[in-house]
A and B are shown apart, each in its own frame.
Chain A
Amino acid sequence: MRWLRFAIGLLLALTLHSLLDSFYPNALAFFNPYIILVIYYSMGGNIVGAIFAGVAAGFVQDAFSNAMFGLHAFSLTFCAYIVASINARLMLRGTLAFGACLGGAVIVNELVIYILVNILVKQRIEMFEQALLVKTIFTLLFGMLVYQLLTLFLREEPIEATRRPAAW
């Protein structure tokens, strides 16, 4: 059931991606719908599930952009793992906690992409700081709005934790 909800979320993210690409081509520079989905899923604290969620969402994002295939999968998996690990211990709940996780994840995500692009294709990303700031703000605002809507209207909390004794 959790995976079904994630799959529906992934289709919605791709729909949003397609919609914005078709009608407002510059909008996707401002926010990233896939990371909202992955962080929302990772807030449940299921680390293994979060890793696979990051890979799946990243692959879809990679397939419909011209990035190296695997770039966004790598960065999203990295963020998902960190957020899920934190939530497996602290059980963070609420819009502000979600916003904090999402904001941090967007920054980490962009930094990971910046480093990988530098290492693998030896390119410098122009206006990185400005793009990072804008993307963080808009993704945060949009993500918190989605979270509020899910909480208020669907009485939906982040996908429930199914934590197991983790061996570190």
Chain B
Amino acid sequence: MAVPTDVIPRRPTLLFIVVLALLFLLMSVSSQTRYLGETRTMFERTVMTIFSPVPKLVHWVGGALQDMYHGYIDMRGAINENLELRRKVASLTTDNLKLRQSEGDLRRLRSLLAYSEQFTMSTSMAQTIMLDTAGRFKSIIIDRGSSGGVEVNDVIANANGLIGRVVLTTKDLAKVQLVTDNNCSVGSLVERTRRQGVVRGNGSTNLQMGDIPSLADVQPGDKVLTAGIDGVYPRGIPIGLVTKAEPGQSLFKTITVKPSVDFGAIEEVIVIHTRKVPPGIVRYAP
């Protein structure tokens, strides 16, 4: 005879403890692997894939309503032209980045060191559909995923400069870690003096540039670019301007960098499909 379900003793406390233990385990794995560009986030990707139609639909509906509003209230032709010009600006920025790198840095290095390198990065365009720039983990989600050729560690930039890198992809979407995130570090250099350092996010609106000796020449107003030494970000992308450079308490300067990108107003972005460092090398990097 079956036991009535309402008298079966249940053990919610035991279940609660087991669930919390499993979640803690999941978090531990996640905290150790998510920033290495590894693929041990199958579960996260699955949840994101299942629910991805919701933000896409919201973005689509929101975009459609905005289009209608602007189309009928303002001059629709002017808006379309504006969009077209924005795409052109983004496209020209891409070309500018390529030219700056290939005709600037490479020419100088080639002539001095007989160093030859071919600039082969391909790019594509994407739109942001979710921005989480105010929380303690800074990220955005873009409307292109693995089906659009986006891969983990692809670099995201816009007309103003560096935005971040892709940390997770699904078929249609990709999650981007912003440079202002606490866990983000970028190999960088000061354009004027070519002094190399590491720019780190600190969760606020500004960035910190570290590993610059106290005697190095860095002044407010100096432009900071990516150095191309970290295996992720290509060289020559603007990061921001130095706003404060003070002698620190230790051997290094305390340098504050104001990002060149307004993270609250990101719309269209450039996805730079970078050349990936083999996982074996990343795994054994110090």
* Chain A residues packing against B (C-beta within 8 Å): 11, 14-15, 17-19, 21-23, 25-29, 47-48, 51, 55, 58-60, 62-71, 73-74, 77-78, 81, 85, 116-117, 120-121, 123, 125-126, 164-168
Contact B12 A47 (CB under 8 A): yes
- Complex CA distance for A164 and B27, rounded to whole angstroms: 32
What are 18 of the A-B contact pairs (CB < 8 Å)?
A: A14-B55, A25-B134, A27-B134, A59-B47, A60-B51, A62-B47, A63-B44, A67-B137, A68-B30, A68-B31, A74-B24, A77-B20, A77-B23, A120-B28, A121-B31, A121-B183, A164-B6, A168-B13
- Complex CA distance for A73 and B131, rounded to whole angstroms: 21
Given contacts A19-B62, A64-B130, A74 and B12 within 8 Å (CB-CB): no
Q: Of A19, A26, A116, which one neighbours B27 at CB under 8 angstroms?
A: A116
Binds A, one of B72-80, B90-98, B174-182, B217-225: B174-182
Q: Which of B54-78 contact A (CB under 8 A)?
A: 54-55, 58-59, 62
* Chain B residues packing against A (C-beta within 8 Å): 5-13, 15-16, 19-20, 23-24, 26-28, 30-31, 34, 41, 43-44, 47-48, 51, 54-55, 58-59, 62, 129-139, 141, 167, 175, 177, 181-183, 202-204, 264
Which residues on B sit within 8 Å (CB–CB) of A18?
A: 54-55, 58-59, 129-130
Rounded to whole Å, the gap between the CB of B8 and the closest CB of chain A is 7
Rounded to whole Å, the gap between the CB of B20 and the closest CB of chain A is 6
Q: Which residue of A lies closest to B25 (CB)?
A: A70
- Complex CA distance for A64 and B58, rounded to whole angstroms: 14
Contact A165 B264 (CB under 8 A): no
Which residues on A sit within 8 Å (CB–CB) of B139?
A: 65-66
Contact A26 B133 (CB under 8 A): yes
Contact B59 A64 (CB under 8 A): no
- Complex CA distance for A77 and B18, rounded to whole angstroms: 11
Which residues on B sit within 8 Å (CB–CB) of A19?
A: 58, 62
Q: Which residue of A lies closest to B133 (CB)?
A: A25
- Complex CA distance for A71 and B24, rounded to whole angstroms: 8
Contact A120 B31 (CB under 8 A): yes
Q: Which residue of A lies closest to B66 (CB)?
A: A23
Contact B177 A25 (CB under 8 A): no
A-B pairs, 3 with minimum CB distance: A66-B139, A66-B137, A47-B12
Contact A74 B58 (CB under 8 A): no
Given contacts A120-B31, A126-B204, A166-B10, A65 and B135 within 8 Å (CB-CB): yes
Rounded to whole Å, the gap between the CB of B28 and the closest CB of chain A is 6
Which residues on A sit within 8 Å (CB–CB) of B20?
A: 74, 77-78
Contact A164 B137 (CB under 8 A): no
* Besides the known contacts A123-B182, A164-B5, 13 further A-B residue pairs in the complex with CB atoms under 8 A apart: A18-B58, A25-B264, A26-B264, A28-B134, A29-B135, A47-B12, A64-B130, A66-B139, A69-B30, A81-B16, A164-B8, A166-B12, A167-B11
Which residues on A sit within 8 Å (CB–CB) of B30?
A: 68-70
Which residues on A sit within 8 Å (CB–CB) of B167?
A: 66
Q: Of B19, B55, B204, which one neighbours A55 at CB under 8 angstroms?
A: B19
Contact B62 A23 (CB under 8 A): yes
Contact B55 A28 (CB under 8 A): no
Q: Which residue of A lies closest to B32 (CB)?
A: A120
Given contacts A22-B130, A25-B264, A48-B10, A69 and B43 within 8 Å (CB-CB): yes
Residue in A21, A58, A73 with the greatest tally of chain B CB atoms within 10 Å:
A21
Rounded to whole Å, the gap between the CB of A110 and the closest CB of chain B is 10
- Complex CA distance for A47 and B202, rounded to whole angstroms: 39
- Complex CA distance for A84 and B19, rounded to whole angstroms: 16
Contact B134 A22 (CB under 8 A): no
- Complex CA distance for A15 and B8, rounded to whole angstroms: 38
Q: Which residue of A lies closest to B5 (CB)?
A: A164
Which residues on B sit within 8 Å (CB–CB) of A121?
A: 31, 182-183
Q: Of B16, B23, B132, which one neighbours A28 at CB under 8 angstroms?
A: B132
Contact A63 B47 (CB under 8 A): yes
Contact A69 B58 (CB under 8 A): no
Q: Which residue of B lies closest to A131 (CB)?
A: B136
Contact A120 B27 (CB under 8 A): yes
- Complex CA distance for A92 and B137, rounded to whole angstroms: 35
- Complex CA distance for A127 and B114, rounded to whole angstroms: 51
